Amino acid sequence: MKLAQRVGRIQPSATLATAARAKALVAQGIDVIDFGLGEPDFDTPDPIKDAAIDAIRAGFTKYTAPSGTDELKQAIIRRLEADQGLRYQPNEIVVSCGAKHTLYNLAQALFEQGDEVIIPAPYWVSYPDQVVLNDATPVIVPTQAEDGYTLDPRRLESAITPRTKALILNSPSNPTGAGYARAQLERIAEVALRHRLLVISDEIYGQIVYDGFRHVSIASLSPEMKALTVVVDGVSKTYAMTGWRIGWAAGPAALMTAVANIQSQSTSNPASISQKAAVAALNGPRASIDRMVAEFAARRNEMVRRLSAMPGVSCFQPQGAFYAFPDVSSCYGRHHNATAVTGSQSLTTYLIEEARIAVVAGAAFGDDRCIRLSYATSLDHIRRGLDRMDAALAKLKK
């Protein structure tokens, strides 16, 4: 069978590959501590589940409008206004099967051969592959831990060419946990406005923030910037609803109509039952989010403290999301017995084989100096897993 050329241009998602390796070891009865996964370990709150059960019982089990129900769009509109002061109309919202699907639909609607898409690194694994799948070229602009892993506006400006179609911004970020402060966004917005650059703003971790950090949407800076921005969000992370598959975009009506048309010819509507559950999530009280974020904050503190105490490891302090992204490059060029550690991928393999902990190689996120550890796992796992990591790193010799 001859597959389409585009298939050969992409990789399977690296985060899912790590999870599969961890699962295979666990199936053999091996105790693996999993820091690989990007989903809250909390259960979906009961009122949200109840709304879904009620929807099934009430027979809300049929097709809905392809771009989502009006009820859910209204709930999204209310949240965007309450959280960011952003005002949208229903024809400026499209609900899809998770934010990953939303981003893919946007790539389909916007990108084609010859287009360039600016992606700051470290980046979420799917951004470059989604660009490539749509025949466009990712233009990677590195950011540094010393700069808080935020995009330098001058570097952004020098990456812009006549072919540039969009910038994909992610705050707070997966994998670094870095969040952009309002002043930093203002400088990015100034460049975007000058070049009429569309910003795809992935805000899926916007509610998961620490130490009083407040997530600001770049769209909220001015009406002109709102007109140049597509806000992407979803229920997966905020409400521990990864399996329900609801995400959305809010943006200019013409683009949203194109996205809705694409969706109407591919998946049609996201699951009707999940849409009802998402309405309950968005309209419900914040208490479950606050509890989850408080727990994540305690875990973040423990994880960053322990990682930073390991010889040669330095760890950026995340302002949001639930990942630590330590620089472990001082371990490269070392070995234990026959195993040589040459970069983030071989260190990841070493850690799963020697320490029985699953992490994700920074190379998958565009930064080979680092590895990503998710702290969406218990404090007990964090303590035991990092003990093992510490011991395994100490065995590496020059």
Ligand X SMILES: Cc1ncc(COP(=O)(O)O)c(C=O)c1O
Residues of the shown chain interacting with ligand X in the complex, contacts defined by CB under 6 A = 38, 98-100, 124, 170, 174, 202, 204, 234, 236, 242, 247
For residue 141, give Cα distances in angstroms to 146, 152, 296: 15, 9, 29
Of residues 237 and 306, the one with the C-beta less far from ligand X: 237
Burial class (CB in 10 A: 0-12, 13-18, 19+), 146: exposed
For residue 356, give Cα distances in angstroms to 292, 340, 359: 27, 17, 10
Of residues 111 and 124, the one with the C-beta less far from ligand X: 124
Of residues 119 and 331, the one with the C-beta less far from ligand X: 119
Residue (of 352, 328, 330) closest to 398 by Cα position: 330
CB of 216 to ligand X, least distance (A): 17
Q: Dihedral angle at the C-alpha atoms of 258, 263, 268, 272, nearest 10 degrees?
A: -90
Q: Cα separation of 368 and 345, whole Å? A: 8
CB of 72 to ligand X, least distance (A): 14
Tell me which residue has its CB nearest to ligand X: 98
Of residues 105 and 348, the one with the C-beta less far from ligand X: 105
Residues 276 and 313 sit within 8 Å (Cβ to Cβ): no
Q: Cα separation of 354 and 203, whole Å? A: 36
Of residues 100 and 165, the one with the C-beta less far from ligand X: 100
Of residues 14 and 393, the one with the C-beta less far from ligand X: 14
Other Cβ atoms within 10 Å of 27 Cβ, number: 8
Of residues 246 and 393, the one with the C-beta less far from ligand X: 246
Beta pairing partners, 50: none
DSSP letter for 244, please. Answer: G
Residue (of 197, 196, 129) closest to 169 by Cα position: 197
Hey, what amino acid is at 235?
Answer: V
CB of 355 to ligand X, least distance (A): 24
Residues 2 and 8 sit within 8 Å (Cβ to Cβ): no
CB of 40 to ligand X, least distance (A): 11
CB of 224 to ligand X, least distance (A): 25
CB of 53 to ligand X, least distance (A): 22
CB of 31 to ligand X, least distance (A): 25
CB of 137 to ligand X, least distance (A): 21
Q: Where do runs of H (alpha helix) occur along the chain?
A: 5-8, 14-27, 46-57, 70-84, 99-110, 126-133, 153-159, 182-195, 223-227, 253-264, 272-283, 287-309, 344-350, 379-395
Of residues 102 and 329, the one with the C-beta less far from ligand X: 102
